A and B are shown apart, each in its own frame.
Chain A
Amino acid sequence: MKRRNLGLLLLGGLLSSSVWADMSLNLTKGVTEVSRDVYDLHMLVLYICTGIGIVVFGAMFWSMVFHRKSKGFKPATFHESTKVEILWTAIPVVILIAMAFPATITLIDMENNDDADLTIQVTGSQWKWHYKYFDQDLEFYSVLSTPREQYENQDGTSAEKGEHYLLEVDRPLVIPTNKKVRFVITSDDVIHAWWVPAFAVKQDANPGFINEAWTKVDEPGVYRGQCAELCGKDHGFMPIVVEVKSEADYAIWLDEQKQMKANAAAAEAASLNASASMDELMQLGETTYTAYCAACHQVSGQGLPPAFPALKGSAIATTGPASAHIDIVVNGKAGTGMQAYGKQLSLKEIAAVVTYERNAWGNNTGEAVQAADVQAVSGAGTSDTVEQAVEDVKEQVAETVAKVIPEEDLSKVYSQDELMTLGEDVYMTACAACHQATGEGMAPVFPALKGSVIATGDVAVHLDMVLNGSKKNPAMAAFAGQLTKTQIAAVVTYERNAWGNNTGDLVQPAAVAAASAK
């Protein structure tokens, strides 16, 4: 009886494998021609293997059931047969050749990286991805965005895990549909591998060397993958998210990115002249620390020695000069896991995180580091570059804006809804970086608009401020050259009516034109 059970069990296991093949746990078909070819190849080989398995295992089970000693079966004596042996050498060769054909064709297709419409440089580092659009002035890091409390459950806590637990990032890579997108892949430190199953793209990121891969996606959507080469401690925590947009949506996205960059640069320049309070620095510092530093140095600041030293009570974060501390954060330390954050974090964030590290966990140095201090350390040249960047970006924004709204009808009268909708868009891209989405600003450099005298008082003063900037506070830039009159009208309307400012004032483009003519 037992022996028959063995047979059933093994057969059951095999059968279930082919049943499962059609369920969601099989290989993904993906969303590209190549990924579908790969899927077909996978299924072809799987079916062939299943077929061979049934024949061979079938013969074995037949012997096990019928050729048993307990049934008194007398053994045969044959022990070779040249004919049979040649046959079962030759048949597999033929089957293998049949499999090699589609495999070769798919492979040749996969390796043809030429004639791409768009090139993106993908760089892995411990433990995040960096994307750089080759023909756009656009690059950013993409970091895991799952909150730590969702996965750090060693103390018994278990925060509810989100739908895309460990497969979500702060800034996904965005690519257009129906374009041949080429990825040039490399690494800053150890070997990583960039893998998106839906594209059937998996390429190692080798430090010092570049690799290529390409994809051409048919359907817009969000596709998720993970690093596929052991790269150290947080190998399991560096996901890849690719958002595929239609070509039109992609163009809009590119414009948005440029706007955001302009705003960030402006905020950066502004933060140089501002002096933030200790509370504000500590608060921002803690958020930044948790997001970027805690993976290695731990939330407790105690690190994971010897690879990741403690900051709590360490010389660098207490008795040492702040400039040395800033230097290591900005420039990293060669030959260690400590990387350069100068290009990833804003001056203010670095100032905040250094302040936080020098005052948290009983390090109480009492020092508050300002953005200007960071800039002083990170190189004399940077200030030109920041200003240069601001200028560049302003130009770009002007171009973009001109492109998006080519003709302006100044006489048009908009409804409140129209103005508010457009105004919110403009506010979010042009103003929210400093004045915050809530309109509460970041005192003292970036004053609140919510309930402020400017935004609830005289419309003319408000308009003047937006058009020409502030004479007292250099952080408030003049937007006359950056935004269209319609956009300024909308944003002023928005500011005067959002967050409970309900003044009911509607500012039309014509009024802006009049004000700017003065």
Chain B
Amino acid sequence: MTTDVIDDQSEHDSHDGEHHDHKMTGIKRWLYTTNHKDIGSMYLWFSFIMFLTGGAMALVIRAELFQPGLQIIEPDFFNQMTTVHGLIMVFGAIMPAFTGLANWMLPMMVGAPDMALPRLNNWSFWILPFAFAILLSSFFMESGAPNFGWTFYAPLSTTYSNGSTAFFVFAVHIMGISSIMGAINIVVTIMNMRAPGMTYMKMPLFVWTFFITAYLLIAVMPVLAGTVTMVLTDTYFGTSFFDAAGGGDPVMFQHIFWFFGHPEVYIMILPAFGIVSTTIPAFSRKPLFGYSSMVYATASIAFLSFIVWAHHMFTTGMPLFGELFFMYCTMLIAVPTGVKVFNWAATMWRGSLSFETPMLFSIAFVILFTIGGFSGLMLAMTPADFQYHDTYFVVAHFHYVLVTGALFSIFAGAYYWLPKWTGYMYNDTLSKWHFWCSLISVNLLFFPMHFLGLAGMPRRIPDYALQFADFNKWVSIGGFAFGISQLIFLVLVIKCIRGGEKAPMKPWDGAEGLEWTVPSPAPYHTFTTPPKID
């Protein structure tokens, strides 16, 4: 996102230029860069490309589901689409986008010149395209791409898989290594690079959420690596971790997977909490309500995420006490999450509100994420979960949390910091179009899925009974509208990089934080001398 325009300006802002690497030009600049802003930009671009790729797959799915019958694709290819769509959106779109935001903003927010481990940073980005190249290359193999769902339940992914398991496993390994390196960098930066005077409880909430998220990543990505390794050896090397014939247990796969999987869900939403906790106070012109309770709530959600994994598995035949334990723990999550939502509402209460695009996305986030939270609470009730489990109700739930939740927060953050990144204000009209089109279409896309699920439509099916036809049609229309709306954002970002109204140092009058004390666009090197915080 940063272009040469910024590079020219960076010189006069750096106080002691001799300490800095000589900046290269062209492709080498991006290949060899250790600059957190360059890497952040690459992460963001990469995640947007992946978002469009995964989105295209979603559109294939929705096109097939537009009406009953198999019109366009074969059931097996349909399964490949749902699987790779899920993998790309989780590991390729949402997570790298957050890492990109962290790269760009964390050093500036804590007053550090760069991330603590810049070379590692370069690596953790550059192995990512290879991971996805491996994953996507499987489409061109005879075996086809992974078709066992992004949750890759054994033995469908082991004994009964098509030949794609090896590609899948190696791709996930590389994604995992990338995430772990990124997370280590974030933790080390936050622990060691804060400006003098910035105590933990003075850090912006954005920094806090990324700090906790990074810990979650470090704790659970290795477990995912272990899981896929076991799947690999079960498939190709004759072990029987998940094969009953050899003394294994397929249900154990789900326990290990969801031990990773549930914290993973929070990895994708905690940073979103951080972003809206930054934008809502800015456009309410009022400090964030209950800063310390926000920190504690985030921490307790992270803690609870480790003891609720089996709520994804209520129908696997757990003993009664297990079902009760996981039900109660899961319901408990509603408490800290509720605290957060109440805090955001209280921040807006008696503020002086204005509705710039970042604020619009943030408000939509709070409301729509809360709807996703409500359906989450319903899913937590074990007896009711027996009806909801593996239906479109679940699909609606996690898309409300991840699309109108995580993705909307990323848009909010992008609009909020675009002037700082590019030095220009974005086109306001286009941004409003983007917001309203996204908002309407996303609800048309996901809200009827609640009804479909309650009426009994299972997820991951390429064709459905006639009573589901009407809503599926609307859902598909919503899907295509939402997909097209995202192209507005692409145009807007390109326009914003190329020029426009010059952005002042602090374009939002209510914004707080160190990132607004440097010029726009942010110079290539910032805070080479740490600022003092009182």
Contact = CB atoms under 8 A, between A and B. Distances in A.
Touching in the complex, A and B, CB below 8 A? yes
Contact of B342 (A6, A80, A88): A88
B71 A77 contact: no
Contacts of A228: 315, 389-391, 458
Nearest to B286: A75
Interface string B114-158: 000000000000000000000000000011000111000101100
B289 A206 contact: no
A20 B478 CA distance: 19
Interface stretch (A196-204, A264-272, A374-382): A196-204
Interface string B438-470: 011001000100111011101011111110000
Contacts of B447: 13, 17
A158 to B, nearest CB: 6
A37 B349 CA distance: 39
Contact of A306 (B69, B142, B466): B142
Given A10-B367, A25-B454, A56-B341, A190 B351 contact: no
A437 interface: no
Interface string B82-99: 000000000000000000
Given A25-B454, A27-B387, A3 B355 contact: yes
A153 B67 CA distance: 11
A53 B372 CA distance: 11
A42 interface: yes
A208 interface: yes
Interface stretch (B327-335, B407-415, B484-492): B327-335
B323 interface: yes
B332 to A, nearest CB: 7
A402 to B, nearest CB: 42
A293 B4 CA distance: 62
A103 B381 contact: yes
A232 B79 contact: yes
B462 A236 contact: yes
A108 B321 CA distance: 10
Nearest to A87: B342
A79 B291 contact: yes
B159 interface: yes
Contact of A236 (B147, B383, B443, B463): B463
Interface string A359-398: 0000000000000000000000000000000000000000
Interface string A68-94: 111001111111110011001100110
A116 interface: no
Interface in A182-199: 189-191, 193, 195, 197
Interface in A79-132: 79-81, 84-85, 88-89, 92-93, 96, 99-100, 103-104, 106-108, 110-111, 126
Interface stretch (A162-170, A278-286, A461-469): A162-170
Contacts of A166: 68, 463-465
Contacts of B148: 230
A356 interface: no
Contact of A189 (B155, B328, B367, B387): B155
Contacts of B249: 208-209
Contact of A158 (B69, B335, B348): B69
A411 interface: no
A42 B388 CA distance: 10
B284 to A, nearest CB: 7
Interface stretch (A59-67, A252-260, A426-434): A59-67
Contact of A60 (B288, B331, B348): B348
Contact of A204 (B317, B382, B456): B317
Contacts of B79: 230, 232-233, 235
Contacts of A53: 370-371, 374
Contacts of B142: 305-306
A252 B381 CA distance: 40
Nearest to A70: B354
Interface in A461-481: none
B289 A78 contact: yes
A60 B367 contact: yes
A79 B463 contact: no
B153 A69 contact: no
Interface string A221-247: 000011111111111110000000000
A337 interface: yes
Give the size range of B's interface with the partner: 35 or more
B293 interface: yes
A126 to B, nearest CB: 8
B320 A41 contact: no
A211 B317 contact: yes
Given A75-B350, A80-B290, A153-B70, A26 B466 contact: no
A200 B439 contact: no
Contacts of B354: 68-70
Given A73-B352, A92-B338, A208-B244, A200 B387 contact: yes
Given A75-B350, A200-B386, A151 B327 contact: no
Contacts of B466: 161, 163, 165
Nearest to A24: B455
Given A53-B371, A306-B163, A107 B327 contact: yes
Contacts of A449: none
A16 to B, nearest CB: 8
Nearest to A23: B451
Contact of B69 (A73, A80, A150, A206): A150
A304 B290 CA distance: 59
A410 interface: no
B251 interface: yes
A225 B461 CA distance: 13
Contact of B338 (A2, A88, A233): A88
B414 to A, nearest CB: 20
A106 B69 contact: no
B345 A56 contact: yes
A64 B348 contact: yes
A89 to B, nearest CB: 6
Contacts of A56: 341-342, 345, 370
A59 B462 contact: no
B75 interface: yes
Interface centre among B352, B374, B447 (most CB of A within 10 A): B352
Interface in A18-32: 20, 24-28
B226 interface: no
B439 to A, nearest CB: 7
A251 interface: no
B463 A100 contact: no
Contacts of A189: 155, 160
6 contacts: A3-B355, A76-B350, A93-B335, A229-B153, A233-B75, A236-B460
Instruction: Please provide the 6 A-B residue pairs with the shortest distance between their CB atoms, ordered closest to farther.
Output: A208-B244, A236-B461, A211-B317, A49-B374, A25-B451, A75-B352
Interface of A: 2-3, 6, 9-10, 13, 17, 20, 24-28, 34, 37-38, 41-42, 45-46, 49, 52-53, 56-57, 59-60, 62-64, 67-70, 73-81, 84-85, 88-89, 92-93, 96, 99-100, 103-104, 106-108, 110-111, 126, 150-154, 158, 161, 163-167, 189-191, 193, 195, 197, 200-204, 206-209, 211-212, 225-237, 304-307, 335, 337
Given A76-B349, A165-B68, A228-B390, 4 more contacts: A38-B386, A63-B284, A96-B334, A107-B324
